[in-house]
Amino acid sequence: MTLTITLEFSGGMELLFNNEKSKQVTLPETFTPGSATLKELLPWVRDNLLTERAELFMQGETVRPGILVLINDADWELEGELEYVIKDRDTIVFISTLHGG
Amino acid sequence: MSGDEMDVAALQAEIEQLRTENAALKASAASGAASLLSIPFTVGRDDSGATTELTNAEIARFSRQLLMPEIGVQGQLKLRNISVLVVGCGGLGAPAIMYLAAAGIGRLGVVDYDVVEASNLQRQIIHDEPKVGMRKSESAKATVNRLSSFCDCTAYDMLLDSSNAMDLIKPWDIVVDATDNVATRYLLNDACVLLNKPLVSGSALRMDGQLTVYNYDGGPCYRCIFPKPPPAETESQYTSITFDFRICSTVPGIIGCLQALEVVKIAADIGAKFSQKLLIFDATFGSFRTIKLRGRSPACAVCGDEPTITELIDYVQFCGSGPSDKTPTQRILEEVDRITVEELGEFRKAAHSHLLLDVREKVQYDICSLPHSLNIPLAELEGRLPDVRAAARHGPNTSGTLPIYVICRRGNDSQLAVQMLQKTGFGQAKDVIGGLETWARDMDSSFPTY
């Protein structure tokens, strides 16, 4: 069994991901359903989907400050952040906070 | 005069009096919903000096929202008696200020340190062409004064920083963050937490907009969500990839309107629904999505249970960047690897053979370019080095290679391009200091700037 999730990039994040705003991905089998977490997902996204420099997306094992992660339309802080266990059909959004006006 | 004649005269006098009364009643009825709503016509004030009754003129002016049960007379009085400080008279502030003034907010403060430029007018609709060159805060105030005689507007021509923010913000009831940079956003957040003011925050860029209300109704502040600013060392590169100077005109307009709406809701006690919620507007998709944010963090440095920030700090240092929205001039290359626009002008005049490489994005190159330049955007340069090699061999001096001068808009990307070229066998590449903006300023005033 594999996990299929939707990744979305918004607020300018898409420009780091080949200008794709939404992408459905089936995670490789190293992601065990029921135990694979966002801690594993972030480096996978960085290594497989990111088209710009890694430090624009990640800092240490988490996302770069200024990037908000949403899990099914809720702030990931409400869902355990890096410890969140990925479920099949989850939608995970990476959104850059905007400063312009 | 006979008795009959006297009766006729008395009757005529009575008819005249009745006519006068009738006319007065008609005029009163025509003055609007006033008489129907049985609202007193005199202006009263409570102990605090706040207006407790609406004038006839106010009733006529705001009748369309007075008739809304959500606002009504009590709501309108609250708008009349509240004070709102809008920080930033740009793309967000423009519609926010205009709608707040039009809706009957009694006192408005408008803050900006900048002057109106032609490139602002595409989205900052509070300013117009005769106001180019005027202080933005004064221009905004002039528009408010034309729009409504019911709004007492004060202009603050100043750059907000830690030394003046507390004194400025203290007297106001609600603060609107319509700024354009991360340092001022942290500054406003901290000041609003320390002074206990709701902060209605909007932001917009390209085709994206965001809206939330901080420090209101027990919800989080900006620092609860973003405890750390984006790292300064990657920010300039991120900015150049994400084109932070691009903005679609109506996107900040839409967010600014929503900010005005949330202020009205807070002021009239309808309640803002964006505490602990973030609205994300994607103009490309045409979607509005509202997501749930984390609550107030007990560990927050400013609004937490044991705050470490109890007075304003140095926000430029904290963020590693200042409030100026102008692209800072970077210095990456040594003097020997750079030429001035004057030198470039001499080379061009003398038909001195060289390759002029323009590394701006195609959309920028399409706006304006120097004749006989080759456009390879910085992002594509690495993959198109063979094109550079071919172009540098071209021309009369086929045995060797031509000098390569690299130009961009302001002279930052061109330095990065020269760095890359020098590492990949183009030791002769040099950068044109200050780019096309400097060219336009010093060499050719007919060359457009954008």
- Identify the CATH number of the domain in which residue A86 sits: 3.10.20.30
Phi and psi at residue B413, to the nearest 5°: -60, -35
Residues of B annotated catalytic, as ranges: 408
- Answer whether residue A101 is part of any domain: no
Q: Judge whether A49 is closer than 8 Å to chain B, CB to CB.
A: no
- Kindly list the residues from chain B whose CB atom is less than 8 angstroms away from the CB atom of residue A75: 225, 291-294
- Answer whether residue A10 is part of any domain: yes
Stretch 328-387 of chain B: residues touching chain A, C-beta under 8 Å: none
Contact yes or no for B408/B360 (Cβ under 8 A) = yes
Digits of tens for pLDDT over chain B (450 positions)? 555 666 787 888 888 888 877 777 766 665 544 444 444 444 567 777 777 889 999 999 999 999 999 999 999 999 999 999 999 999 999 999 999 999 999 999 999 999 999 999 999 999 999 999 999 999 999 999 999 999 999 999 999 999 999 999 999 999 999 999 999 999 999 999 999 999 999 999 999 999 999 999 999 999 999 999 988 777 767 776 766 678 888 999 999 999 999 999 999 999 878 999 999 999 998 999 999 999 999 999 999 999 999 999 999 889 888 776 455 566 778 888 999 999 999 999 887 789 999 999 999 999 999 999 999 999 899 999 999 999 988 655 555 688 999 999 999 899 999 999 999 989 889 999 999 999 999 999 999 988
Residue B2 has a CB neighbour count (10 Å cut-off) of: 7
How many domains is chain A partitioned into structurally?
1
The Cα A86–Cα B57 span in angstroms is: 60
Indicate yes or no: CB of A65 within 8 angstroms of CB of B242. Answer: no
Pairing between strand B174-177 and A67-71?
A: unpaired
B300 among annotated binding-site residues: yes
Question: Which residue, B51, B47, B76, is CA-closest to B269?
Answer: B76
Query: What is the residue range of A68's domain?
Result: 4-96
Q: Given CATH 3.40.50.300, say whether it is the number of domain B335-442.
A: no
Q: Judge whether A29 is closer than 8 Å to chain B, CB to CB.
A: no
Contacts (Cβ under 8 Å, ≥6 apart) of B324: B181
Structure token digits, residue B287: 């979607």
Which one of B211, B234, B246 makes the best mutation probe of the A interface by having the most chain A beta carbons within 10 Å?
B234
Indicate yes or no: CB of A78 within 8 angstroms of CB of B204. Answer: no
Distance of CA B259 to the CA centre of its chain: 11
How many beta-carbon pairs under 8 angstroms link A with B? 98
B136 among annotated binding-site residues: yes
Q: Given CATH 3.50.50.60, say whether it is the number of domain B82-319.
A: no
Helix (H, G, I), strand (E, B) or coil at B204: strand
Indicate yes or no: CB of A101 within 8 angstroms of CB of B291. Answer: no
B181 among annotated binding-site residues: yes
Give the residue extent of every domain in chain B: 3-54, 82-319, 335-442
> Does the model's pTM come out above 0.90?
no
B319 among annotated binding-site residues: no
- Kindly list the residues from chain A whose CB atom is less than 8 angstroms away from the CB atom of residue B234: 53, 55-56, 64
- Answer whether residue A25 is part of any domain: yes
Bridge-partner residues for B288, per DSSP? B281
